């Protein structure tokens, strides 16, 4: 299903067609604020400004696999009690072709003193001791400082 919508450019006020989602569309322009010509000017102007921050996933030892799995159960139980609908990030799993084993992976919203922080873990079934736990961080490119990513 294709979703296209008409928008008015915030700068030149011209009306343009914008692709919201889907395939088989008549345009590939996805900017909802500016028409194609104004968006190109803005993009070119900002290309000279270096990025100051980047979003990264960095390994952490601040939490354990057991903590993350417990939080995941609590988060799921709260969602089920609230409306029965769990909203979560989806990631594609991996399969070892030789053995057919799949990996275990999940994104988990932190709790307690880790509230508003997001973690990801993955490991091969039967190899829980080799778990890889990462946290979503904001990396200051200028100073190298890393802080938890803030959802605004």
How many other C-beta atoms lie within 10 A of the C-beta of residue 137? 20
Same domain for 134 and 59:
yes
> How much is the CA Rg of the chain, to the nearest whole Å?
21
Domain, as residue range, for 69: 53-148
Question: Between residues 115 and 4, which one has the greater pLDDT?
Answer: 115
How many other C-beta atoms lie within 10 A of the C-beta of residue 119? 22
pTM of the predicted model, to two decimals? 0.70
Query: In residues, how long is the chain?
Result: 152
Total domains in the chain come to 2
pLDDT value at 3 more than 90: no
pLDDT digits (tens, 9 = 90+) for 8-46: 999 999 998 887 766 655 556 788 899 999 999 999 999
> What are the structure tokens assigned to 79, written together?
């969602």
Strand partners, 53: 140
Per-residue model confidence (pLDDT) at position 23: 62
Question: Between residues 63 and 29, which one has the greater pLDDT?
Answer: 63
Same domain for 121 and 58:
yes
pLDDT digits (tens, 9 = 90+) for 64-73: 999 999 999 9
Same domain for 87 and 40:
no
Any idea which of 79-83, 94-98, 110-114 has the lowest mean pLDDT?
A: 79-83
Q: Which residues contact 56 (CB under 8 A, 6 or more apart)?
A: 136, 137, 138, 139, 146
Element (H, E) at 67: helix 65-82
């Amino acid at each position: 299903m294709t979703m296209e919508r008409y928008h008015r450019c915030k700068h030149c006020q011209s009306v343009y067609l914008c692709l919201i989602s889907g395939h088989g569309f008549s345009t590939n322009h996805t900017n909802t604020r500016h028409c194609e010509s104004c968006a190109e000017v803005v993009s070119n102007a900002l290309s000279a400004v270096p990025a100051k921050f980047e979003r990264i996933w960095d390994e952490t030892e601040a939490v354990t696999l057991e903590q993350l799995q417990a939080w995941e159960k609590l988060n799921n139980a709260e969602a089920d009690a609230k409306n029965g609908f769990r909203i979560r990030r989806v990631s594609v799993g991996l399969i070892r072709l030789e053995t057919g084993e799949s990996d275990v992976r999940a994104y988990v919203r932190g709790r307690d003193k880790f509230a508003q922080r997001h973690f990801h873990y993955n490991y091969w079934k039967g190899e829980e001791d080799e778990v890889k736990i990462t946290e979503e961080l904001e990396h200051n490119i200028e100073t190298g400082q890393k802080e938890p990513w803030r959802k605004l």
